[in-house]
Chains A and B, each alone.
Chain A
Amino acid sequence: MANAAKESQEPQSHYQGGFHLLQKELMNDYFDQMTRAAEGDGPPAVYLLISGNPVELIRAFDLLPVFPEINALQIAAKHQSLPFIQKAEEVGYSTDNCAYVKADVGLWYQDGQAPMAKVPKPDLLLTNYVGCNVYLHWWEHLAELSHAPIFDIDIPFIRTSDGEPRAEDITYVVRQLEELIPVFEKVSGKKFDPDKLTEVMEYSKETGELWAQIKRMTVNRPSPFDAYFDAVTMMGPLYTLRGTKEGRDFFRDVLKMVEEIKSQGKGPLPEEKFRLVVEGPPPWPYLRIFRDMFARWGAVFVASTYSTVGGLWEFGFSHDPSDPLRSVAMHMLKWNLTNRNFLQRYQQLKSYVDEWGADGLVIHSVKSCRLFSAGQGDMREYFARQVGVPTLLVESDLEDPRYFSKAQMRTRIDAFMESLEHHKLVGLHT
């Protein structure tokens, strides 16, 4: 019944907020740099991973950071991931392997020719092993394919009951970062310049603080932007440009825009009817369609765990220019989502539900990413039964379009939203 009423409001064609255009410009510049580097006109390329990324060190040597995860998601968002994935499957990767890796391997076999850029070959493979075990495999495979030198940074996972890294963990990581410096010197052909690193750290600190302020804005009603669909737009610059002036300026501009939207009492949708928290990466191949499925109900995501894989600035972290290596180490060890254990994630979600005032929790379970998904049934159990928050678990994928069933997804979301609506009407949930 409610369904029929919604049928007429077909997909929202655009959402409010000006930062998307700004982001596009910056990311296009970045992709152009990649293409130039691939054509031999640019700095050496260092491949690294998103989770708790130590991009500051790369910037301090004027190297080009390349994030294969960003490349993979760009390809998926442009609806072009399937042929890349299939190429990898042809050479022996399983349907059950993370499709980010497969898209990237497929890209390798296409000589790095991606829809948005040509991706340079790596001059160094930096495995910042922050949480995800697939990272280790991925970089091992890239090393086999490219014969590029590899440097593993082993980040001990948070595993003690106090939820903190141990003193020995910190010493271990700092030591590895010290060993990394001469490797960067060799790859870049530049002597390590501590002043340059301090400058990068200053930009990074400011960027992180701006980002934290932006993220905190979504506690407002209405939320000035969507902490899932809009936040992921801003994550590109957060990783690729952190530690640069451009990156810092971008976040200054975004904060202004968001403040402006807030002062007008506006949000991404004409009306915010539901506030939701979301767990898990988005379905890049169907991002817009997925967003529309919630938007038609007036549902806005006010907090997301995915937007914290790169760092947890909103919970009090910022880089410390006076102690760069330790600060980068702490970022990787403690201040990101992926290096924290599964139960810490429950707590993070719970604080989102409580402090951000959410009506429900959506768990987007992606097949590719077991770091996120393995055990999310238990998470649902915890929230639905123990905490008593309406919780929806839906499954698809972040890269592989074959795992998104539109009709089924829509039915599940509609049923959930209907029940939330009902809860609201009868005042079951506050």
Chain B
Amino acid sequence: MATTVSSSQETENLPGIVNGLRNLFEDPDFQAVAEIKRASGKPVVGHFPVYSPVELIYAAGIHPVGVVGAGNQIEIAHADSRFQSFVCSVIKSTLELGFTDRLQIFEGMLFHSICDPARNLASVFKRNFPDQWVEYIHFPQNMVTEGSLDYLESEYRRILARLEDLSGKKVRNDDINEAIGKYNRARQLMRDLYQFRREHPDILTTKELYTLVRAGHILSVEDHIGLLEKAKVLAGKKTPLVRDHIKVILVGSFCEQPPLDLIFSMEEAGLDVLDDDFLLGRRWFTEDVPDDGDGIRNLANSYRDRSVIAAVKHDSRQQKGKELVDRVRRFGADAVIVSVAKFCEPGLFDYALYRKALMEAGIPHLFVEFEEKMWLFDKIQTEIETFVESLLLD
């Protein structure tokens, strides 16, 4: 099993590398994580979506792993008696991972204030896994008060102290700045690749880009940087595909993730994706977090003033609908695909804002609902094909 990108059998072309990477994250048993843990001797903390301050986890000498449920890899046998039918799948599959002892290699789990189900899930974890380290971060939702900076700084210091308890390492400011530097590098490379895809969606596919980003949920940041650097070089060498696609921006998939094969099917159905919000948390900042000065303060500041628009972050300075319309125009997209996880209330609420703004601006859009546990994609694929055809005929 290829767990790191430097393994000797790797194929030196992007599709080959990408194919070798998918079992990193399509593995509910986290074998790659176990291997990294063995090799590095580090404890592991899983973080639930969307954004998590991975720099703090890393600085504390802990390996951060993005735990985004179990996709379509496991059956839900226990968790659906705890969370009702009207709760999104990623909540249940993450809990199921716990009930089936698959999270035992994680010393801790970190949740965030993204929505009511995720918040209650943190409590349910605490009760059902009393020996596990479980933490919850409340992110500020008032972005226009100076107080939110002090507050978030204090929240980060609290979490850092808890992480220090877990690893036994006393964290210095330099450690945090070093971590910021590394994650900045990874984020910059992801921004570069996003930019590359925007210009050449026929060369770097969304399936490839997604896989490259998602690998960072498992790999160490150093290995992820190595992977992204190599991908950047290899992407430039690929030959363009000839295809009759429309250019779209895809929004709504910031937390629960569609299966990789669904992303592939959507793309194949006729989409050149110029931008998306998959795995948004690891790409959270619009520019580098300063890596000198007070690291915690800088992380807090970047969260408040230099982070992306997101359904789970409330910022009265922004208008989501207007921003989306502007982005469509700026990138020259033909349409928007709003692809929301079933029962995801933040995503569904945003859709109402997007719909209004897009209709007023005369921008076509298609709304689809997906579930991470889907196996059959023909319905969504047909919807997209029909939508694409209608636009191509226009």
Contacts of B123 in A (CB 8 A): 341-343, 375
| B355-A375 in contact (CB<8A) | no
Q: Annotate B105-137 by CB proximity to A: 1 below 8 A, 0 otherwise.
A: 000000001111101111110111000000111
**Closest B-chain residue to A159, C-beta based?**
B136
Contacts of A172 in B (CB 8 A): 147-148, 150-151
| A140-B127 in contact (CB<8A) | no
| A343-B127 in contact (CB<8A) | yes
Q: Which stretch in B33-41, B82-90, B222-230 binds the other chain?
A: B82-90
Report which of B117, B127, B316, B351 forms a contact with A152, defined as CB distance below 8 A.
B316
Query: How many Å from the CB of A369 to the closest CB on chain B?
Result: 8
Contacts of A154 in B (CB 8 A): 140-142, 145, 148, 151
**Closest B-chain residue to A94, C-beta based?**
B348
Query: How many Å from the CB of A103 to the closest CB on chain B?
Result: 14
Q: Annotate A168-202 by CB proximity to B: 1 below 8 A, 0 otherwise.
A: 11011001100100000000000000000000000
Known A156-B138, A179-B145; judge A143-B316 contact (CB<8 A): yes
Q: Which stretch in A33-41, A58-66, A130-138, A412-420 binds the other chain?
A: A130-138
| B352-A91 in contact (CB<8A) | yes
B356 within 8 A of A: yes
| B138-A159 in contact (CB<8A) | yes
Query: How many Å from the CB of B41 to the closest CB on chain A?
Result: 28
Q: Which secondary structure dominates chain B's binding surface? A: helix
7 closest Cβ pairs, A-B complex: A342-B123, A168-B154, A92-B355, A154-B142, A374-B117, A137-B349, A375-B120
Contacts of A92 in B (CB 8 A): 351-352, 355-356
Contacts of B144 in A (CB 8 A): 152
A377 within 8 A of B: yes
A141 within 8 A of B: yes
Known A136-B141, A370-B116; judge A378-B128 contact (CB<8 A): yes
Residues 318-376 (chain B) with a chain A CB within 8 angstroms? 319-321, 342-343, 345-346, 348-353, 355-356
Residues 79-97 (chain B) with a chain A CB within 8 angstroms? 80-84, 86-87, 91
Query: How many Å from the CB of A112 to the closest CB on chain B?
Result: 19
Report which of B81, B119, B312, B343 forms a contact with A96, defined as CB distance below 8 A.
B343
A97 within 8 A of B: yes
Query: How many Å from the CB of A183 to the closest CB on chain B?
Result: 11
Q: How far is the CA of A150 from the CA of B141 in the complex (A)?
A: 13
Contacts of B348 in A (CB 8 A): 93-94, 96-97
| B150-A378 in contact (CB<8A) | no
Q: How far is the CA of A381 from the CA of B99 in the complex (A)?
A: 14
Contacts of A140 in B (CB 8 A): 314, 316, 320, 349, 353
Known A144-B356, A375-B120, A377-B83; judge A176-B145 contact (CB<8 A): yes
Known A94-B351, A141-B352, A342-B124; judge A365-B314 contact (CB<8 A): no
A367 within 8 A of B: yes
Contacts of A374 in B (CB 8 A): 83-84, 87, 91, 116-117, 120-121
| B145-A137 in contact (CB<8A) | no
| A98-B345 in contact (CB<8A) | yes
Interface centre among A171, A367, A378, A381 (most CB of B within 10 A): A378
Contacts of B151 in A (CB 8 A): 154, 156, 168-169, 171-172
Interface centre among B119, B146, B353 (most CB of A within 10 A): B119
B237 within 8 A of A: no
Known A375-B124, A378-B127; judge A141-B349 contact (CB<8 A): yes
A391 within 8 A of B: no
Residues 99-156 (chain A) with a chain B CB within 8 angstroms? 101, 105, 129, 132-134, 136-137, 140-141, 143-144, 150, 152-154, 156
| B116-A166 in contact (CB<8A) | no
- Contacts A/B (CB < 8 Å), 19 sampled: A92-B355, A93-B348, A96-B342, A97-B345, A97-B349, A137-B346, A140-B353, A144-B319, A144-B321, A152-B142, A154-B140, A154-B142, A157-B138, A159-B137, A172-B150, A375-B124, A377-B80, A377-B81, A378-B128
Q: Using a CB–CB distance below 8 Å, which chain B residues touch chain A?
A: 80-84, 86-87, 91, 113-117, 119-124, 126-128, 135-138, 140-148, 150-151, 154-155, 158, 312, 314, 316, 319-321, 342-343, 345-346, 348-353, 355-356
A373 within 8 A of B: yes
A315 within 8 A of B: no
| B116-A365 in contact (CB<8A) | no
Report which of A157, A166, A367, A381 forms a contact with B158, defined as CB distance below 8 A.
A166
Q: How far is the CA of A381 from the CA of B128 in the complex (A)?
A: 11
Q: How far is the CA of A168 from the CA of B148 in the complex (A)?
A: 10
Q: Annotate A360-401 by CB proximity to B: 1 below 8 A, 0 otherwise.
A: 000001010011011111100110000000000001000000
Contacts of A141 in B (CB 8 A): 349, 352-353
Q: How far is the CA of A365 from the CA of B150 in the complex (A)?
A: 37
Q: How far is the CA of A153 from the CA of B147 in the complex (A)?
A: 11
**Closest B-chain residue to A172, C-beta based?**
B151
Q: How far is the CA of A96 from the CA of B352 in the complex (A)?
A: 12
| B150-A171 in contact (CB<8A) | yes
Contacts of B80 in A (CB 8 A): 377
Query: How many Å from the CB of A137 to the closest CB on chain B?
Result: 4
Residues 316-338 (chain A) with a chain B CB within 8 angstroms? none
Report which of B81, B146, B314 forms a contact with A381, defined as CB distance below 8 A.
B81
| B353-A144 in contact (CB<8A) | yes
| A370-B87 in contact (CB<8A) | yes
Contacts of B122 in A (CB 8 A): 159, 341
| B116-A134 in contact (CB<8A) | yes
| A375-B319 in contact (CB<8A) | no
Q: How far is the CA of A154 from the CA of B319 in the complex (A)?
A: 19
Known A91-B352, A154-B140; judge A171-B147 contact (CB<8 A): yes
**Closest B-chain residue to A386, C-beta based?**
B127
| B355-A91 in contact (CB<8A) | yes
| A176-B142 in contact (CB<8A) | yes
Q: Annotate A334-368 by CB proximity to B: 1 below 8 A, 0 otherwise.
A: 00000001110010000000000000000001010
Contacts of B116 in A (CB 8 A): 132-134, 370-371, 374
Contacts of B113 in A (CB 8 A): 133, 157
Query: How many Å from the CB of A166 to the closest CB on chain B?
Result: 7
| B84-A373 in contact (CB<8A) | yes
Q: How far is the CA of A51 from the CA of B31 in the complex (A)?
A: 44
| A367-B150 in contact (CB<8A) | no
Q: How far is the CA of A373 from the CA of B151 in the complex (A)?
A: 29
| A136-B314 in contact (CB<8A) | yes
Q: Contacts A154-B145, A166-B154, A168-B154 given; 14 further ones with Cβ under 8 A? A: A96-B86, A96-B343, A96-B345, A101-B349, A105-B352, A133-B113, A134-B116, A140-B316, A143-B316, A144-B321, A179-B147, A341-B119, A343-B123, A374-B116
**Closest B-chain residue to A174, C-beta based?**
B147
| A137-B150 in contact (CB<8A) | no
Q: How far is the CA of A160 from the CA of B83 in the complex (A)?
A: 23
**Closest A-chain residue to B113, C-beta based?**
A157
Contacts of A97 in B (CB 8 A): 345, 348-349, 352
Residues 217-235 (chain A) with a chain B CB within 8 angstroms? none
Q: How far is the CA of A143 from the CA of B84 in the complex (A)?
A: 31
Contacts of A176 in B (CB 8 A): 142, 145, 147
Q: How far is the CA of A85 from the CA of B124 in the complex (A)?
A: 32
Known A93-B352, A159-B136, A374-B120; judge A175-B84 contact (CB<8 A): no
Q: How far is the CA of A343 from the CA of B150 in the complex (A)?
A: 28
Query: How many Å from the CB of A1 to the closest CB on chain B?
Result: 30
**Closest B-chain residue to A340, C-beta based?**
B123
| A395-B316 in contact (CB<8A) | no
